[in-house]
Amino acid sequence: MSRETDDLELSERPEAEEDLEDLALGEDYSLNPAYVPMVVDALDRGDAERLRELLGALHPADVADLMGFLSADDREELVPHLDPEILGEVLSELDTEIREEILEHVPSQVLAKALGEMESDDAADVVDDLEADKRAQVLAAMPEVERAAIETTLAYDDETAGRLMQREVVAAPQFWTVGHTIDYLRKEGQELPELFFDVYVVDPAYKPVGACPVSHLLRAQRDTPLAQMMEQVTEIPVDMDQEEVAYIFDKYRLISAPVVEPGGRLVGQITVDDIVGVIQEETEEDILALAGVSDAGRDAGFLGIVRSRLPWLLINLVTEAIAVTVIGPFQPMIAKIVVLVMLLPIVSSLGGNAGTQALTVAVRAIATKELNAANAMRIIARELAVGLMNGAAVGLMMGGGLYLWQHDFKLSLVVFLAIIANLFVAAVGGILAPIALERLGRDPAVSSSVVVTFMTDIFGFLALLGIAALILL
């Protein structure tokens, strides 16, 4: 082979790799659907080299996304082609259902090596998904220090700062200088966390007294004592709920924060990348809870989906059956004014939509701590005013349209007043239901929608038929 040919191949490889990366992802960084069949084809042919090329063009997060589009059999075949380092990063990005399935097919020794490449918090999440027997095998195959870090993390309750934090942290005593600290970081580079933003300054009892951002260290003079340049830190108790942690990070615009045990001793840190995951998880949970479901994964099982949705549908069936019973006493009037039957679902539907709007605002405000005892009355009054105003606007339009159709002023007035009343009740239920549930120690996102729907339906029927009975008969 000539030198010119070698040079040509070397110059073409980066271009080919760049083309493959361009093909893999769309402009919005989502996985290109055409890329999935290419991976499946390489799996079917057993072309390991082609698989390495295809997977090498993807970020671990994109590989995790790819896993979601593959069948269970294809995922099982693909896993052995991932290096332990890449496998660890992929596992931390996978949906829970898919990760549990994949973990069943990963040998304990391979998994132990992959976990060794991960941060302690991510590794603990993966180990937590393992069956007891395999968990014991994997932990036994890991070095003692890494095993101890994972076991310590798993000892904390789920969805707390202790489970969220990574044990790896960079700390320095108060008497160190900038130069001493930088020299230490360079010397111990391999033993330090892969990603960190602050060097925590600790006292002799290993309690954090401040923090020095890495960017500040690099700009400061070498002889500057850390005690002179450190900033105040916001400590996170190890047992704090992860929602509270996310709120603190958002409120104070934190990049990282030290985690302390009850005595104040530094035991780990939480970084902003962990918080992004928490916010996504909590938001997803609230959205699903508002709809009365708990499944969202693309690999969720059929029976699991049925079990999560059916109870709320049955509850809704019962509440709707109760709401319908209020129509019975008004049957003679309905028989005389048949158009009321057509108006019933309109009035109740408008109330349901208005209630959902107020409910969504209230649940969000409670979750972000924008709604509390200090401003509850003001927020409630605002929502009630909005309900009245929207009711008047919608009622006027509906009543006006009905008058043009039926030429009956009294009937139009009935609809106008019924819509105002129902949208006001919707606002009341939408704002008060989540507040009441939150005061009772229940998640306001769960079941609030059922309560509000029941209120708007039953009052919508009562309002329309009751007002009609007063005005028309």
Tens-place pLDDT, residues 297-333: 555 555 665 666 667 667 666 776 776 677 767 767 6
The per-residue pLDDT for 288 is 63
Residue listed under structure tokens 């993807």: 58
Q: Which residues contact 256 (CB under 8 A, 6 or more apart)?
A: 196, 197, 198, 269, 270, 271, 272
d(CA 297, CA 98): 9
The per-residue pLDDT for 316 is 65
Whether 355 and 452 have beta carbons less than 8 Å apart is answered as yes
Model confidence at 9, pLDDT cuts 50, 70, 90, reads very low
Read off the pLDDT of residues 47-58 as tens digits, 9 standing for 90 and up.
888 998 899 888
Give the count of beta carbons closer than 10 Å to the beta carbon of residue 249. 23
* Average pLDDT of the segment spanning 93-111: 86
Read off the pLDDT of residues 195-235 as tens digits, 9 standing for 90 and up.
889 999 999 999 999 999 999 999 999 999 999 999 999 99
Model confidence at 292, pLDDT cuts 50, 70, 90, reads low
The per-residue pLDDT for 336 is 58
Whether 55 and 81 have beta carbons less than 8 Å apart is answered as yes
The answer, yes or no, to whether residue 8 has pLDDT greater than 50, is no
The answer, yes or no, to whether residue 18 has pLDDT greater than 70, is no
Domain 171-290 sits in CATH at: 3.10.580.10
Domain boundaries, the chain: 15-164, 171-290, 302-472
Give the count of beta carbons closer than 10 Å to the beta carbon of residue 188. 10
Q: Which residue has the higher pLDDT, 175 or 285?
A: 175
- State the fold for domain 15-164: MgtE N-terminal fold (1.25.60)
The answer, yes or no, to whether residue 295 has pLDDT greater than 70, is no
The architecture CATH gives domain 302-472: Orthogonal Bundle (1.10)
Whether 413 and 471 have beta carbons less than 8 Å apart is answered as yes
The per-residue pLDDT for 118 is 85
Give 58: exposed, middle or buried? Use CB within 10 Å, 0-12, 13-18, 19+. buried
Reduced to 3 DSSP states, what percent helix, strand and coil does the chain have, rounded to the nearest 5? Answer: 70, 5, 25
The per-residue pLDDT for 258 is 96
* Average pLDDT of the segment spanning 396-401: 90
End-to-end CA gap in the chain = 102
Read off the pLDDT of residues 424-463 as tens digits, 9 standing for 90 and up.
998 888 888 888 888 887 777 766 777 788 888 888 888 8
Element containing residue 147 per DSSP (H, E): helix 144-154
**DSSP of 72-112, one letter per residue?**
HHHHHHHGGGS-HHHHHHHHHHS-HHHHHHHHTTS-HHHHH
Q: Which residue has the higher pLDDT, 237 or 118?
A: 237
The per-residue pLDDT for 254 is 92
Q: Which residue has the higher pLDDT, 174 or 374?
A: 174
d(CA 435, CA 366): 8
